[in-house]
């Protein structure tokens, strides 16, 4: 187990170093050499890599890094059209592991095993709450407190520090694949894509708090108006008494 953790840490550091030293195109060329897929192939076919091989997760992370610089596109599913956050994650898992994830981040949050923030490993999916609600943004954890994501319109796929706003809006993590090692040091990859009973919390409603604020304000306004009307009625009653 210790050997596996050291291997994953080295992999994470290597990935991050690669993105700094080499341009995204070079990394893309490397992953194409590994997978046997040409850079202009945007089809949904999986790469020629067995998901049970020992470097399957590393291959998946390299695949994700190779897409850095591609523009965010709402509803986009391929590098040619641009990709949104869930389209990016879905493309990477399909291309590198042959795993067909649901289309939206909210649906992906219902797949795989829950993971504690303290037990995050490279390849885990991390979910965030936004103004649109629970689990409406997603990224792939790379290790070393960094993740890769397709952020928003006007930005490109990039590596981001997992802190600040992201930590505050973090809603949970899921593990779809896990690398295991036996006593002889041999590794294998276990898939959790068929687990659907460990969904992440989905009570966050985003913009609903604003509507609630308006509702409270409206109630106060109504109460003030009623009070004024009540006061005017009392004043009118007093005047009538004086006449008598």
Residues belonging to the active site: 85, 137, 149
Q: Per-residue DSSP letters for 50-61?
A: -TTSTTHHHHHH
d(CA 146, CA 111): 22
Q: What value, to the nearest 5°, has the Cα angle with vertex 174 and ends 46 and 14?
A: 65
The answer to whether the beta carbons of residues 91 and 83 sit under 8 Å apart is: yes
CB 69 within 8 A of CB 19: no
Task: Give the separation between CA 125 and CA 9, rounded to whole angstroms.
Answer: 17
Instruction: Report how far apart, in Å, the C-alpha atoms of 19 and of each of 24, 65, 237 are.
Output: 7, 7, 81
Retrieve residue 159's tokens.
Answer: 């590596």
DSSP run (H or E) holding 190: strand 187-191
Nearest alpha carbon to residue 105 among 204, 209, 15, 19:
204
Q: At 226, which helix (H) or strand (E)?
A: helix 208-243
Rounded to 5°, the CA angle 98-104-109 comes to 85
Compute the radius of gyration of the chain from its Cα atoms: 26
């Amino acid at each position: 187990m210790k050997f596996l953790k050291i291997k994953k840490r080295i992999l994470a550091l290597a990935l991050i170093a690669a993105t700094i030293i080499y341009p995204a195109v070079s990394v893309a060329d490397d992953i194409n050499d590994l997978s046997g897929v040409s850079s202009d192939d945007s089809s949904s076919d999986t790469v020629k890599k067995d998901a049970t091989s020992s470097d399957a997760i590393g291959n998946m992370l390299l695949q994700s890094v190779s897409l850095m610089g591609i523009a965010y596109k709402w509803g986009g599913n391929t590098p040619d059209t641009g990709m949104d956050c869930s389209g990016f994650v879905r493309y990477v898992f399909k291309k590198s592991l042959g795993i067909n994830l649901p289309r939206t981040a909210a649906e992906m949050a219902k797949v795989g095993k829950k993971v504690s923030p303290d037990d995050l490993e490279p390849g885990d999916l991390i979910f965030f709450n936004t103004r649109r609600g629970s689990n409406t943004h997603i990224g792939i954890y790379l290790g070393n407190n960094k993740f890769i994501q397709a952020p928003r319109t006007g930005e490109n796929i990039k590596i981001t520090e997992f802190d600040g706003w992201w930590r505050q809006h973090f809603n949970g993590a899921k593990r779809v694949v896990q690398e295991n090692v036996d006593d002889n040091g041999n590794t294998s990859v276990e898939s959790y894509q068929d687990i659907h009973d460990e969904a992440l919390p989905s009570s966050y409603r985003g913009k609903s708090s604003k509507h609630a604020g308006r509702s409270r304000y409206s109630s106060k306004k109504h109460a003030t108006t009623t009070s004024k009307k009540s006061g005017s009625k009392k004043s009118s009653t007093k005047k009538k008494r004086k006449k008598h």
